[in-house]
Amino acid sequence: MTVGSDVGAAPDAETVTATVVGGSGFTGGELLRLLAGHPNFELVEVTSRSKAGKSVGSVHPPLRGSDLRFTEPDDLESVDVLFAATPHGVSMGQIDDFFEIADTVVDLSADFRLETEAQYDEWYDGHEAPEYLETAEYALPEINRENLAGADLIAGGGCNATATILGLYPLFEHGILEGGEQIVVDVKVGSSEGGAGGGEASSHPERSGVVRPYAPTGHRHEAEIEQFLDTSVAFSCHAVDMTRGASATNHVFPSSPVSKGELWQAYRGCYEDEPFVRMAAGGSGVYRYPEPKAVAGTNLAEVGFELDPSNKRIVVFSAIDNMMKGSAGQAVHAANVALGLEETAGLEFTGLHPVGAP
């Protein structure tokens, strides 16, 4: 018997039954890993059309030793929570079926992130279940904790949007920005954002060592950022050589001068009681600012800033693990809040040091 081999076993504490739909991809695997180590969730089923019948450990090494196998996504049992880790556009077509078997649905795709059909149509192509857009709650507890409690439908945030929103949010909350100011967001992301499989551009020889402009304009995560911060941003993404991680550098030009003290006040005000936000703004040592490798494998966001007096700029850094805080970890965190569980349950891992390109 190996550590981790009790995946799917009944937990001791208050038990919540769960099913993961679409469990063979990267975020699906991450969800399985988190639920297996969670004190409250009991994993009932994991579906995957392409891997049905195979053991979850044959696809996801952290689950080696588990007896759990992928099943076809039909005739699912009733559970308390259904997590959907399917590609964009799938959940919207099955959302009614989901609610027939589950009280709470947490969707990790982009299908329910935006609030109106008009917004969705602007950035994506035609929504199949627009009536759910209004009721769905965005999964980021730091900006939406109150509404998550008891929510039926939870929409996991986009990873780049999550990093950006967490970086900029305190500036808006504390009136340093009001909307309309110039904001340039330059994001660096790892290869797991492309999902399992991948094509030529994701092959190791072509992808390793890159600083590759990716969606330099028109990135869909802009929609989420602008929805939650109520301002427009100039957003660009670059693929860099790591597997996990998203790092947002936000170049912000406030209309009035601001001091470092005011910035600290804004960020501490928003985040000092947040269990998953860690400030890193200056100081000594190697790790002075947020870095994706410092949060790899964790549900933490690191946030920090520097002030450039010469051009009246605030440079805000935020770093997350795109698979965790940017996806599966955020989903579990939101589910914890929605169901009234301990917020940090199953998400206590604080990272590794040193760690290479995570």
Annotated binding residues for NADP(+), written as ranges, equal 24-27, 322
The structure tokens listed for 325 are 């805080």
Q: Which is nearer to its own copies, 96 or 272 (CB)?
A: 272
- Coil, helix or strand at residue 140: coil
> What gap in Å lies between CA 332 and CA 254, rounded to an integer?
35
| CA–CA gap between residue 310 and residue 244 (Å, rounded) | 34
| Enzyme catalytic residues | 159
Q: How far is the CB of 232 from its own copies (least distance, A)?
A: 6
How far apart are CB 204 and its own copies at their closest, in Å?
A: 4
* Smallest distance, its own copies to C-beta of residue 293, A: 5
Which residue number, 30 or 80, has a Cβ lying nearer to its own copies?
A: 30
Please enumerate, by residue number, every residue annotated as part of a binding site: 24-27, 322
Query: Which C-beta is closer to its own copies: that of 53 or that of 96?
Result: 53
Whose Cβ is closer to its own copies: residue 135's or residue 344's?
344
Contacts of 239 by beta carbon, 8 Å cutoff, 6+ apart: 188, 189, 190, 191, 193, 207, 210, 211, 212, 214
Cα–Cα distance between 319 and 292 in angstroms, integer? 5
Shortest distance in whole angstroms from residue 2 CB to its own copies:
5
| Burial degree of 298 (CB within 10 A; 0-12, 13-18, 19+) | buried
Strand partners, 106: 83, 154
